[in-house]
Chain A
Amino acid sequence: MTENVDGVTEATILLVDDNAQNLKVLYETLKDRGYRLLIANDGEKAISLARRHQPEVILLDIMMPEMDGYEVCQYLKAHRSTADSAIVFLSALDDVDAKVRGFSLGGADYISKPFQAQEVIARVKTHAQVIRLERELHARNRQLESDQSRILNAISEGIYGLDEVGDIIFANPAAAMTAGCTAEELIGRNFFALHFGDKDVPCHTMEQSGRPVQATCSQGIPEHQRAIVMRRLDGTCFPAEYRSTPKLDGDRLRGAVVVFRDITVELENEQALEEARSVVQAQRDQLAHASRMSTMGEMAAGFAHEVNQPLTAITNYARVALRLISDEPFDKDLLEETLGKIEAQSHRASEVIRRIRRFVKKPAIGKEVLSLSSLLEETRQFAEVDARNNDGGVEVFVAEDVPDVMADPVQVQQVALNLIRNALESTRSAGSHAPVEVSAERRGPECVRITVTDHGKGVTREDEHKLFQPFYTTKEEGMGIGLALCQSLIHAQGGDIGYERPEHSGARFFFTLPVVTRPQPA
């Protein structure tokens, strides 16, 4: 049974000697031991074979004509592809100088002639193993390095490795691209001088100690900043976001790693998004206002009636008062009473007008702390105009534990009024006189729920999920805007709106509003 050197693939051993007899002995010694054996009888052949096969071990005779062993060794060590082979010199020269010279040229070992077979076998085995392990290690390292550099190259954010004073010792391609140069140009430059240096135009007016990354480099404090201004190599500026973490060698601070990126496009997108949001907000407010105006239009006859009632009474009382004065003597008490009635009716008329003005006020006045009981009561009075036309009624129930909410009163009233008017209309078309029930109750710690329930014709199951779609309507003259707008307005308040089938016939709509969060006492 032949002894096999470890590993699956056989190690390659190059035997070099100008003496054929010696070669033969070596060959006989090492054959059948799991090695691939190559032989060369001069230096040039040896180099050529070594370059082609990269042997793990080369047994090299020193004394050869033309090119001696030292020269061959020098050559092999000088070339990358052959430098890692273990060179074991073979020579009859058993003097120290020769050995020292061999080692100094990169030789790994030395065997004196005449050699012992066992010694040759043992040394070859050891060196073959060492070289193989080294090669594996190198291969593994190369693999790791290329993985790391692939990752660093692939990352879209710029990465710097900095030393303690901020000199750049590493830069990935994204860093170079952001800085506007090649990675080689960055190495050795000072991070602070490059990116925050005072050129013609001061980009960054911060104090030296307050510069980004400074604290990480000098004190090991991690940093994260957004929308700072950095300079490119050509002196132009860009907005950036960065994170810096200290680079530690045990406990010693060895500088910092900086991950950064150019956020010009991000900032532009954010601004565009913000602008789009405010456009949407403005349009929602406009639509809400238009809708309120339209509601007012629909309710105009009702309001005219609401104002005409007190005006009619005032006119009548005024005429009575005039007639009383012309009496001789006149009834002072009755005149006072009549004038008092005139005053009361004037207030009544102005109250109606105040309600209308509050409702159509533009733009929406923004969120404030609201009491639902007073808001819903005012809405009820408002809706009474319709209740009159629709021959129906509105009843408001607000549970005692209902807290104040944070919302825009005009828009909430608009939603409530819309739901109540729909409910009244539906009740009337069902030929019912049952009042519309409006109630508010607490739902959990953060939410109040307002429901509007009617006993009208209700909503068919297939229509239920379409209720809040724009332009969906069951009304002949409807536009299908009302509920979709209500939804948009309630969402803007941070609430939700929906429909649920009541136990009885009819319909129930609800919406929620966030409870006022009071600041905790310190």
Chain B
Amino acid sequence: MSDIDQTVYVVEDDEAVRDSLELLLKSAKKSVKPYSTANAFLSDYSEKMAGCIVLDIRMPGMDGMELQKKLNDRHSILPIIFVTGHGDVPLAVDAMKEGAVDFIQKPYREGALLEKIESALEQDREQRKTLGEEQEILRRVKTLTPRETEIMGRMIAGQANKVIAIELEISQRTVEIHRSRVMHKMGTHSLAHLVRMILSVKDRIDAK
């Protein structure tokens, strides 16, 4: 299983539906946390939450769509599975555009729901893993000296050591030393891997 604790957050105003869903997911060995209103969930929300949200689209007070927007504002990456009623398909389409991973119509089959929950949890894991990798790359980039950063940029752009040496007016041997330090600090042996790593965090380096 995964190395992080994932929870299925159930946001549902109907007591019976909420209670039955909690029991069902627990019997399927899931960690479950139920909320009766969108507000209750929102005030409990933190970035550390991992797992997915099973969210009723129609609720009194703040409805599912509003909660989704508020979570987006807070850069939540928790995948959302919307639970819709009869005739709510247009709403569900809007929800998908806003980034929901899926929706399921009531009454649903357990198999279909668990399948969707599994895939949402998988997506959550992937996102968190990638998020971890990217943070590591950025951390490594920060250990580079300005000269090393300069040379890494030229390496990624595909310049040969000889060209870099002439343009920077340093010896080819010095370029080679910088190059091996960059590879070492970035923890790779392949230029191709380095290119991919840098491309994955390109936006955040440029933003600095």
Contacts and interface: CB of A to CB of B under 8 A. Distances in A.
Q: Do A and B bind each other?
A: yes
A317 B110 CA distance: 10
A304 B60 contact: no
Interface stretch (A53-61, A319-327, A364-372): A319-327
Interface in A277-305: 300-301, 304-305
B174 interface: no
A309 interface: yes
A338 interface: yes
A310 B17 CA distance: 7
A362 interface: no
Interface in A164-223: none
Given A320-B24, A388-B60, A391-B60, A312 B87 contact: no
B136 interface: no
A338 B19 CA distance: 10
- Chain B binding surface, main DSSP class: loop
B113 to A, nearest CB: 9
Contact of A308 (B23, B107, B110): B107
B17 A309 contact: yes
A82 B205 CA distance: 147
A304 B87 contact: yes
B109 A315 contact: yes
B110 A301 contact: no
B27 A324 contact: yes
Contacts of B28: 323
A312 B86 contact: no
B8 to A, nearest CB: 13
A85 interface: no
Interface string B19-38: 11101100110000000000
A328 to B, nearest CB: 14
Nearest to B105: A308
B24 A311 contact: no
Given A301-B86, A305-B86, A313 B27 contact: no
Interface in B39-65: 58, 60-61
Contacts of B14: 309, 313
Interface in A374-427: 388-389, 391
A310 B85 CA distance: 12
Contacts of A315: 20, 107-110
A341 B19 contact: yes
A345 interface: yes
B17 A312 contact: yes
Contacts of B16: 309-310, 313, 341, 344-345, 348
A314 B106 CA distance: 11
A316 B86 contact: no
A312 B110 contact: no
Contact of A316 (B24, B60, B87): B24
A54 to B, nearest CB: 105
Nearest to A389: B58
Contacts of B21: 316
A391 B58 CA distance: 10
A316 B23 contact: yes
A304 B28 CA distance: 28
Contacts of B106: 305, 308-309, 311-312
Contact of A317 (B20, B58, B109): B20
A309 B15 CA distance: 9
Interface string A234-252: 0000000000000000000
B201 to A, nearest CB: 43
Given A301-B86, A391-B60, A312 B19 contact: no
B72 to A, nearest CB: 22
Given A313-B16, A341-B16, A388-B60, A320 B23 contact: yes
A319 B61 CA distance: 30
A314 B20 CA distance: 8
B60 A312 contact: no
A304 B86 CA distance: 6
Contact of B19 (A305, A313, A389, A391): A313
Contacts of A338: 23
A308 B83 CA distance: 12
Nearest to A338: B23
A316 B25 CA distance: 9
B107 A319 contact: no
B27 A320 contact: yes
Nearest to A301: B87
A304 B17 CA distance: 15
B27 A341 contact: no
A314 B27 CA distance: 15
Contacts of A319: 24, 27, 110
B107 A311 contact: yes
A115 to B, nearest CB: 127
A338 B20 CA distance: 9
A196 B14 CA distance: 80
A315 B21 CA distance: 9
Interface in B132-157: none
| B60, B108, B109 — most chain A CB neighbours (10 Å) | B60
B85 A308 contact: yes
A139 to B, nearest CB: 95
| B14, B17, B58, B108 — most chain A CB neighbours (10 Å) | B17
Given A308-B85, A319-B110, 13 more contacts: A301-B85, A304-B85, A304-B87, A305-B86, A311-B107, A312-B108, A313-B14, A313-B20, A315-B108, A316-B20, A320-B27, A345-B16, A389-B58
Closest CB pairs A-B (n = 5) = A316-B20, A304-B86, A313-B16, A313-B20, A312-B107
Interface of A: 300-301, 304-305, 308-317, 319-320, 323-324, 338, 341, 344-345, 348, 388-389, 391
Interface of B: 14, 16-17, 19-21, 23-24, 27-28, 58, 60-61, 85-87, 106-110
10 contacts: A301-B85, A305-B85, A312-B17, A313-B14, A317-B23, A319-B27, A323-B27, A341-B16, A344-B16, A391-B60
